[in-house]
Amino acid sequence: MKTPREPDLELRGKLIRSLGSLREMLPGSFVERKRACGRPTCHCADGKRLHSQYQISVLMDGKPKALTIPAELAEKVREKIEMRRRFDAAAATICGVNLKRFLKEKKKGGRPV
Ligand SMILES: [Zn+2]
């Protein structure tokens, strides 16, 4: 027998299944900073063509840290931090669906959830 279509449950299932692809997520925020290296002959000495420096700004053991990211890893790290944002968004949506369902059940005053 086919159960009636429940869009909320379909959405929840879809989100849950998508979480596996976010397993490489990283915490914190991605920071790109511009800086001069200080060498007088470098192109950055004009103050305009500065070097990019990449960092993860993150709490470790409750303390804010800025971790330097090697330039060649910057794009990967940026994506992994973006995964965390998508993970949180999915979790919030799933919680919203579940809360709605919980309230519905509660109203019916019946079965435990
Ligand atoms: Zn320089």
Sheet holding 63-69, edge to edge: 29-35, 51-60, 63-69
Q: Quote the ligand 1 centre to 6 CA distance (angstroms).
A: 58
Q: Quote the ligand 1 centre to 52 CA distance (angstroms).
A: 10
Q: Quote the ligand 1 centre to 34 CA distance (angstroms).
A: 10
pLDDT of residue 109: 76
For residue 28, give the amino acid letter.
G
Q: Quote the ligand 1 centre to 64 CA distance (angstroms).
A: 28
**Residue ranges in the chain modelled with pLDDT below 70:** 1-3, 110-113
pLDDT digits (tens, 9 = 90+) for 67-88: 999 999 999 999 999 999 999 9
3/73 Cα distance (integer angstroms): 47
pLDDT of residue 110: 62
Residue 85 Cα distances to 36, 44, 100, 106, 113, angstroms: 31, 34, 23, 31, 28
